Structure 1
Amino acid sequence: MLNCKQATQMLSEKLDRPLSTKEKLNLGVHTSMCSSCRQFGKQMQELRFISKRYTKGENESNK
């Protein structure tokens, strides 16, 4: 089973590359039991979404 440090690393990697089936399973088990890591994952996704929106807005205003 993953510890929180490994889980947060994997949650970060999940945004940049597809996880293997084993990684998804291990991460799913950990986040189902760990509300802190579950919250971290949600926050990472939200930050990614906000960054993309900001970058798009910046590119559109430069035209």
Structure 2
Amino acid sequence: MPLKRTCKEATALMVAREDRSLAWRDHLALRLHLLVCKACPRFERQMLGMRQQLKQWRNYTMPD
């Protein structure tokens, strides 16, 4: 399988990366795709932002 990925494949890898470690080949292919694509790094930043917000929300306690 070549290292070149489409945006659809790259976003699927980013979503999968949330649940499991990627194989080295997929990790490398994703990194290479993110270097040449303009849209996917934005999606990656949005995912990271959502993850951080969800973490804060899970740890939120109501003030008394």
Give the TM-score of the pair, scaled to structure 2: 0.85
- 9, 17, 21: which is aligned to 2:12? 9
Q: Which runs of 5+ in 1 are unaligned?
A: none
Q: Give the share of equivalent positions with the same residue, in percent.
A: 29
Whether 1:40 aligns to 2:43 is yes
Cα RMSD of the aligned pairs, angstroms, is 1.3
- Spell out structure 1 runs of 4+ moving beyond 3 A: none
- 45, 50, 53: which is aligned to 2:53? 50
Report if the CA contact (8 A) 1:4-1:37 is conserved.
Answer: yes
Whether 1:24 aligns to 2:53 is no
Q: For 1:16, what is the secondary structure of its paired residue?
A: coil
Q: Which runs of 5+ in 2 are unaligned?
A: none
Q: Which amino acid aligns with 2:14?
A: L
Residues matched between the structures, number: 60
Give the TM-score of the pair, scaled to structure 1: 0.86
